[in-house]
A and B are shown apart, each in its own frame.
Chain A
Amino acid sequence: MKKKLILAGTVLMGAGLALAGCGDSSKTSDGKTKIEMVQYKPEAVKAFEKMEEKFNETHDDIELTIESPNEAMTILKTRFIKEDQPDIIGIGGDVNYSNFLDSDMLMDISDFDGLKDIKQSYLDIDKNLEFIPEDGTYAVPYVANAAGILYNKEMFEENGWEIPTTWDEFIELLDTIQASGQLPLYFGFKDTWTCLAPWNAMACDLSPADVCQQVNKGTTTFSEEYRELADKIIQLLPYAQNDPYAFSYNDACTAFARGESAMYCIGSYAVPQILSVNPDMQIDSFVFPANDNADKQVLNSGVDLQFSVMKDCKNKEAAYEVLQFMLEDENIQIYLDEQNAVPCKEGDFELPSMLDGVKEYIENDKMTDYQDHHYPSEMAVDAMIQTYLMDGNADSFLAKFDKDWIRYNRDLIRKVQKYEEEHGEGGNES
């Protein structure tokens, strides 16, 4: 028996040692400043690995680690709960950014030099994401994406289909494609977030860009602003494969890559995944023509990746150095080559060819941010849209939208209204 106990003890001690060996060491090891960055796009892991390696080769005093975990937002939030924050986070310009900023977790980086080279329109998009206007700047927009409709160039050329510019033309095109015995659209609605792709793209054409802010101020309702959008989005279903709720985003990308559908309503962020299935595919895109008036179509574009320095970061200079490095033209190019994105920095970058069809909108700044960047994630608007697409009841969907909006945003609405009041009475304090 004793032998067994000794054995058990040894096993335990060994395990204890093994565990102690990998305890997290503090900020510096062998004199270097450690900078840890977590970025939320696992599909871009290769680009970031390259940058990480390059950075560490050229910097003796800073050791940079970049993590690109799957389900990064959950991991990030779990780490916030743990109060174990990285130095820099790379996230999207969406409601999470608004929340982190509102919770006072991000550092004001207005003194960061690199901001001068960032296009104003993207800084404005970030400004609009602030729940209540803040002083200072809290994020460096890095790359943007665009969402609309991706189409299979070969199929379009073979059949002589033309790019639609209005809703009627679009429906006509869908009918033509279907009549030819081919599948016009493919959806991956098993992953609920993909329901937001057509929703956002159409919302740009059909609803005011600041609809959420307007609702928060109490000047309008979603039932009013989203009615046409709800009526139109459901008309797309007959043109897609049967049972779109059985297939995931991955399945849809694969199907589109294999030519099973002529078009795919998704953002430019899906292109690398599609090309991984079919590297020779010719893809181009056009703006979702949801409006009846061709001049009123607006490109859906938002900040896909931006960097923020956490307030708790102890080495601001080192963090800035990392950001500066990321913004060097050749490093942005590393990212662009991997990910087909639109850079937020001024300069002569070549836009990926699959954005040819929407170039004009980008150059003329006819762009609106994703509406869902303003939706609170716990409200699960994606699942609400999925529910609506399945049951087709627009009235109850819109009524629920308005009701839930107030329920999930009431602290925010109170804050905004309080701010407006103070702002109105006390003049501008800034």
Chain B
Amino acid sequence: MAFANLSNLFGRSPIKPMQEHMALAVKAAGELVSFFEAVTGDDWARASEIQQRIVKFENEADAIKKQLRMHLPKSLFLPVPRTDLLDLLTMQDRIPNRAKDIAGIIMGRRMTIPASMKEQMNEFVRVSVAAAEQSLTAINKLEELLETGFSGRELAIVENLINELDAMEEKSDQLEIGVRTSLFALEAQLPPVDVMFLYNIIDWVGDIANRAHDVGGRLQLLLAH
């Protein structure tokens, strides 16, 4: 028999776990900056270490994601729609997945970045990861949004954060175009298979920013009530 006791009225709020998940997700993505620095510096030992860390963070994020999904039954009344929250979680989770993919394939193929592109590539990774960190800042506002009941000034603050995120994703796109152009100029002199995988990596790094942008978009949908 379900209890009518007062303490049974309160379920586990999903807000904190959502924030924790995003923190781990962006931590995993954040490691990419030092990972690329190690790779472009030919320090494969350090790169391997960092790759292990990325995998660890991604696994921890997955664990939180599973817990969250298990503890969001339909009978729970939430301040935002349950499906929207679960969608946001899925979007959040795609960031560390991509980071793991990038680190994994670079390590696996011992991929080197052409010397003339190294600085450009590092800059590109930095900007892409910055977009991810911006999305974390927005997600961290969830607790304060809850405090104000998802309306009022907090809402305006978060909407500003999402607009900034849009700008950062734009910038990342610009840098991606720049890197692709550089590679295009070099591609005839490099082994073709390596070139294809390099294009892939560039695509994936841009994905980090895109997925962070998606998180911002989902958050906006969540708030638009």
Whether chains A and B associate is no
Listed in ascending order, the chain B residues whose CB lies under 8 Å from chain A are none
